[in-house]
Every structure is written in C-alpha cells, then in structure tokens.
Amino acid sequence: MNEKKIKELLVVNKLRKTKVRTEILSIFLNKNCALSYFDIKENLKRKFDKVTVYRTIHKFLEKNLIHEVPSSSSAQKYAFSETTDNIINNNHAHFICKECGNVFCLNDVSLNNFKLPIEHNIDVINLTANGVCVTCR
C-alpha cells in the first residue's frame, strides 16, 4: 500500500521517483509522530549523504508533503502532511509527550478560524498541548 501511495504523492507533486525520496516518504508514512533529521537518517535503509537527505527534506517542505512542528528539543522536527493544502494542513495543534519527547499532529484541532484582534498577516499558528502519550502512560 505504501508503495502505491508514495508513487501517487511523487506524481501529484511533480517529483521524480528516487531512492532517497521513496525511502524518506516511506518512513513518514510508517511513523505516527514527528521526526528529526537524525530520526530520518537512523531509519534509512540505505546510506545517503547528509546533503541529499537535507535537500530531500527541504523539497518535501516546499511541496507541503511534510511540515515543521514545534518541539521540546533543539532539533527541528517534521511531520507528514495529511493534505497538500499548506494553509489548511499546517494550522493545527500538536501534542508533545513530556516523557518520550515525541510530537504528534492533532489534525482534528484546526486553527484555521483563529483571528487576532488587530490586522496582522498570519503565516503559521503553533498551538501545543503537553502531557503523556498513550505509549508512555
């Protein structure tokens, strides 16, 4: 199933199918939490150089296949985007587990109707809930 989904995501986003893109997308589709560069690198079956992995992450961010998420650690984390609509998809809450440090998207908690009392242009809204995840309970 993942192979078909990966091919579809690459075609829709007009990206060539490469080994690194296929593997990184597979990692995101198989994990239910946000991943850092180090998490991605650790889960790769093949060895790819640092620049190739970072370029792939950057390209996926450009295409809204993944999005940056807030994290309690200093390492930037990324999560798979459920849709390719950046405005709808990225404006949702995240849950950070204080035990394991994993970050989970709360896609059902939409922040699209968030309004400030004065006129500002909002690019991204970050709302995080902190607690203990199901696995750590």
| pLDDT (0 to 100) of residue 10 | 94
- Residue 137 belongs to some domain of the structure: no
Please give the tally of structural domains in the chain: 1
| pLDDT (0 to 100) of residue 83 | 58
Helices (H) and strands (E) in the chain, counts: 5, 6
Name the average pLDDT for the chain. Answer: 85
Domain region containing 99:
2-131
CATH number at residue 126: 1.10.10.10
- Residue 136 belongs to some domain of the structure: no
Amino acid at 126: N
pLDDT (tens digit per residue) in 33-44: 899 999 999 999
pLDDT band at 86 (very low <50, low <70, confident <90, very high): very low
- Residue 41 belongs to some domain of the structure: yes
- Residue 85 belongs to some domain of the structure: yes
